[in-house]
């Protein structure tokens, strides 16, 4: 007997119309992919039933890279080609990496490029490319499990990730062929997973301690609106650092000369430190065994008291960040409803103990701390892709670090303060200082300090095409805009003439558009299958998405356009439909651009109309 398919109320009526969307937690130690199926957000396992994908990539000569558990096994025996915790390198320059003492773990190539590359048996690879391999693996897993092409993904990032780190994540997704619906902050994702479970209104704290990063976010939940009040953290503090501290102590105990430790031996010792740490959550003392250079091993003991001594200084640093976030949010521990634990490192008993003491409450960990972020991301992905048109959930996040501009004397002028709700746009007026000057450079940095050198350089924006005038006559309005992904874009306009400047972005720690295009070409050249077919399919999918979206919009609000405007828009739509049915990818791309331009007016007016409609209702109330 055939089973009737009854869809849940509030979902798209016909199941086959549901789009496939996933949430991806691209973690330092482990990555996961999750999706909403039959109304439930669940992580997706691989063929062996494993949900966690170790964020480890092993490169080989003349063979495709290996991702996951298999790669991790090789870490001790093939350390130079097996990259772990690549997240620590995203959006970072070589100088930063060396400061953190990670540059000896791998063979970093000397290069002028701002993007560090690691020499492996499979070639020189950048952190973005390495992360792309992990994402590709998750994408394959999802498409195989869900039985179709992904329409998009929400990818999570630490809340404290700066612009360069976020852009690197987006670049990795692009290389992996994933359409990013949103970059979502990990604590916010966790809040979504918990919030919908319990729905308790008020102020919540999310304490997220992963393998390599720490975030604390303070959120207010009010009728389905998650409002981030403040966030703080450290993108170079996590479980890995506990492991390092433990490893250091063990090496001392064993009398091993730290300078004499080989790469393979070093990785093996770290693994052992990690194992011991995890086991001490279950037992009081563990036996530890370290491999020695000449062969054989040293054995010793590690107990809870010693572990706590090693972990406490690091945990205290996280509590310092908690204090700062609470100040910024203007709250006290008494105002907090609950504290949610996220990230594998929060399984540690000592972490739970000290956090509980600090907030005077028992931290919550009912949802698996490894999975909660991916689950929250999947919930949002389901909504963003359009599967739940009536959903009222709204996520209002913030920028974690102040954005500023370099001014005279190496000082920073803050443009957008930290914890400002995004999207946000602020404008600054500039003028020229030479007659006929047609270009202007703006150096943007991120951070809280007063000197440019103490902040993170994001990029240099070159504004070109300023109409030549007498020095000081031009009034150039530069607008700094941070979007919902937390990414900065800069635009500029000369006010008197109305001329928009062309903006060229030179990221300080990132890939230029050309470099990405180059990587995409390379990856496609090496991939199996027909490159041309893949590019055509990508354009077709994009075209379908836009056409569907516009169709729906016109059905609802087509009447706000005049006959003439409607005619022009319809022509652009017809053009794209025709291009899409063909097999010329470039023609489709051009038609998409033309349609975007043609629909700009409609989009703007439509939004105005919605707003005025909603507010008009209130005005009538007031006067009646």
State which residue, 37 or 324, has the beta carbon closest to other proteins: 324
Q: Compute the least distance from the CB of residue 440 to other proteins, in Å.
A: 21
Choose among 381, 485, 384, 390: nearest CA to 146.
Answer: 381
The secondary structure of residue 558, as a DSSP letter, is G
Q: Please identify, among the stretches 247-255, 265-273, 338-346, 388-396, the one whose residues bind other proteins according to the rule CB under 8 A.
A: 388-396
Residue 369 in the binding site for other proteins (CB under 8 A): no
Residue 481 in the binding site for other proteins (CB under 8 A): yes
Active-site residue flag, 589: no
Residue 614 in the binding site for other proteins (CB under 8 A): yes
Q: Please identify, among the stretches 4-12, 126-134, 401-409, 478-486, the one whose residues bind other proteins according to the rule CB under 8 A.
A: 478-486
Active-site residue flag, 25: yes
- Vertex 434 angle, CA 429 and 436, to 5°: 95
Residue with tokens 């692009």: 174
State which residue, 464 or 619, has the beta carbon closest to other proteins: 619
Element housing 521 (H / E) = helix 513-526
- 108: number of Cβ within 10 Å: 18
Element housing 444 (H / E) = strand 439-446
Residue 383 in the binding site for other proteins (CB under 8 A): yes
- Choosing from 384, 459, 469, 588, the residue that interacts with other proteins (CB under 8 A) is 384
Reduce the DSSP state of residue 26 to 3 states and report it: strand
Residue 603 in the binding site for other proteins (CB under 8 A): yes
Strands across the sheet containing 502-507? 411-416, 403-407, 439-446, 456-464, 502-507
Active-site residue flag, 257: no
State which residue, 72 or 182, has the beta carbon closest to other proteins: 182
Judged by CB under 8 A, the chain residues 140 through 159 that form the site for other proteins are 151-152
Q: Compute the least distance from the CB of residue 172 to other proteins, in Å.
A: 19
> Considering 19, 87, 277, 371, which one is annotated as catalytic?
87
Choose among 512, 483, 516: nearest CA to 163.
Answer: 483
Judged by CB under 8 A, the chain residues 183 through 242 that form the site for other proteins are 222-223, 225
Residue 618 in the binding site for other proteins (CB under 8 A): yes
How many residues contact other proteins, by CB under 8 A?
56
Reduce the DSSP state of residue 529 to 3 states and report it: coil
State which residue, 529 or 623, has the beta carbon closest to other proteins: 623
Q: Compute the least distance from the CB of residue 444 to other proteins, in Å.
A: 17
Choose among 463, 458, 406: nearest CA to 440.
Answer: 463
Sign, CA dihedral 499-504-508-510, equals positive
- Choosing from 183, 206, 395, 458, the residue that interacts with other proteins (CB under 8 A) is 395
Residue 77 in the binding site for other proteins (CB under 8 A): no
Rounded Cα–Cα distance for residues 70 and 80 (Å): 16
Strands 214-222 and 411-416: unpaired
Residue 261 φ/ψ, nearest 5 degrees: -80, 125
Rounded Cα–Cα distance for residues 41 and 34 (Å): 7
Site pattern 410..429 for other proteins (x: CB under 8 A): ----------xxxxxx----
- Vertex 287 angle, CA 284 and 288, to 5°: 125
Helix and strand tally (H, E) in the chain? Answer: 15, 26
Judged by CB under 8 A, the chain residues 523 through 552 that form the site for other proteins are 545-546, 549-550
> Considering 19, 25, 105, 364, which one is annotated as catalytic?
25
What is the per-residue DSSP string for 249-301? HHHHHHT--GGG--HHHHHHHHHHHHHHHHHTTT-SEEEEEEE-TTSSEEEEE
Judged by CB under 8 A, the chain residues 550 through 569 that form the site for other proteins are 550, 553
State which residue, 250 or 573, has the beta carbon closest to other proteins: 573
> Considering 105, 129, 186, 406, which one is annotated as catalytic?
186
Reduce the DSSP state of residue 524 to 3 states and report it: helix
Active-site residue flag, 208: yes
Q: Compute the least distance from the CB of residue 227 to other proteins, in Å.
A: 9
10 Å CB burial of residue 223 (0-12, 13-18, 19+) is: exposed
Judged by CB under 8 A, the chain residues 314 through 353 that form the site for other proteins are 320, 323-324, 327
State which residue, 278 or 538, has the beta carbon closest to other proteins: 538
Cβ neighbours for 49, distance < 8 A, ≥ 6 positions apart: none
> Considering 78, 162, 171, 208, which one is annotated as catalytic?
208
> For binding to other proteins (CB under 8 A), which residues are involved?
151-152, 181-182, 222-223, 225, 320, 323-324, 327, 380, 383-386, 392, 394-396, 420-425, 481, 483-484, 500, 545-546, 549-550, 553, 595-597, 599-604, 606-608, 610-611, 614-619, 622
Catalytically active residues are: 25, 87, 186, 208
């Amino acid at each position: 007997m055939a089973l009737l398919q009854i869809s849940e109320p509030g979902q798209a009526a016909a199941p086959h119309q549901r789009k496939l969307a996933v949430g991806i937690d691209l973690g330092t130690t482990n990555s996961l992919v999750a999706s909403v199926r039959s109304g439930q957000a669940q992580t997706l396992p691989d063929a062996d039933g494993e949900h966690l994908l170790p964020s480890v990539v092993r490169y080989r000569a003349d063979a495709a890279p290996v991702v996951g558990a298999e790669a991790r096994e090789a870490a001790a025996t093939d350390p130079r080609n097996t990259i772990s915790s690549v997240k620590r390198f995203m959006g970072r320059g070589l100088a930063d990496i060396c400061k953190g003492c990670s540059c000896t773990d791998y063979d970093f190539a000397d290069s002028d490029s701002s993007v560090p590359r690691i020499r492996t048996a499979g070639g020189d690879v950048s952190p973005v490319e390495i992360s792309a391999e992990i994402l590709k693996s998750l994408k394959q897993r999802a498409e195989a499990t869900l039985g179709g092409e992904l329409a998009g993904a929400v990818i999570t990032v630490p809340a404290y990730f700066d612009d360069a780190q976020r852009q690197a994540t987006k670049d990795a997704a692009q290389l992996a062929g994933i359409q990013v619906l949103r970059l979502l902050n990990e604590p916010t994702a966790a809040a979504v997973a918990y919030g919908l479970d319990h729905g308790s209104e008020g102020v919540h704290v999310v304490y997220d301690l992963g393998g390599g990063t720490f975030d604390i976010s303070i959120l207010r939940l009010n009728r389905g609106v998650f409002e981030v009040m403040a966030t703080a953290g450290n993108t170079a503090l996590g479980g890995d650092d506990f492991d390092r501290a433990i490893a250091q102590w063990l090496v001392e105990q064993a009398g091993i000369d730290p300078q004499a430790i080989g790469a393979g031996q070093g990785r093996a010792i770290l693994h052992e430190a990690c194992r011991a740490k995890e086991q001490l959550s279950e037992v009081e003392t563990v036996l530890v065994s370290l491999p020695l250079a000449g062969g054989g091993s040293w054995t010793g003991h590690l107990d809870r008291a010693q572990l706590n001594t090693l972990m406490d200084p690091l945990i205290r640093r996280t509590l310092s960040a908690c204090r700062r976030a609470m100040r910024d949010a203007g709250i006290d521990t008494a105002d907090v409803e609950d504290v949610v634990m996220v990230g594998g490192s929060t399984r540690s008993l000592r972490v739970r103990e000290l956090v509980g003491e600090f907030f005077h409450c028992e931290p919550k960990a009912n949802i698996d701390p490894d999975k909660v972020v991916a689950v929250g991301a999947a919930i949002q992905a389901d909504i963003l892709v359009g599967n739940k048109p009536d959903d009222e959930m709204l996520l209002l996040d913030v920028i974690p670090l102040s954005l500023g501009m370099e001014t005279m004397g190496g000082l920073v002028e803050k443009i957008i303060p930290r914890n400002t709700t995004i999207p946000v746009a602020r404008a600054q007026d500039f003028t020229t200082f030479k007659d006929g000057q047609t270009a202007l450079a703006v150096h943007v940095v991120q951070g809280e300090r007063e000197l440019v050198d103490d902040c993170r350089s994001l990029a240099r924006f070159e504004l070109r095409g300023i109409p030549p005038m007498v020095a000081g006559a031009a009034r150039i309005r530069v607008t700094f805009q941070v979007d919902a992904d937390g990414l900065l874009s800069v635009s500029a306009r000369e006010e008197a003439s109305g001329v928009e400047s062309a903006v060229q972005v030179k990221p300080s720690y990132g890939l230029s558009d050309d470099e990405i295009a180059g990587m995409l070409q390379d990856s496609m050249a090496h991939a199996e299958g027909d490159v041309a077919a893949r590019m055509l399919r990508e354009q077709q999918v994009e075209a379908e998405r836009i056409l569907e979206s516009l169709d729906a919009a016109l059905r609802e609000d087509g009447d706000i356009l005049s006959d003439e405007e409607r005619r022009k828009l319809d022509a652009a739509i017809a053009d794209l439909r025709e291009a899409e049915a063909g097999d010329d990818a470039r023609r489709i791309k051009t038609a998409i651009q033309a349609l975007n331009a043609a629909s700009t007016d409609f989009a703007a007016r439509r939004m105005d109309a919605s707003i005025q409609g909603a507010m008009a209702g209130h005005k009538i109330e007031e006067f009646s």
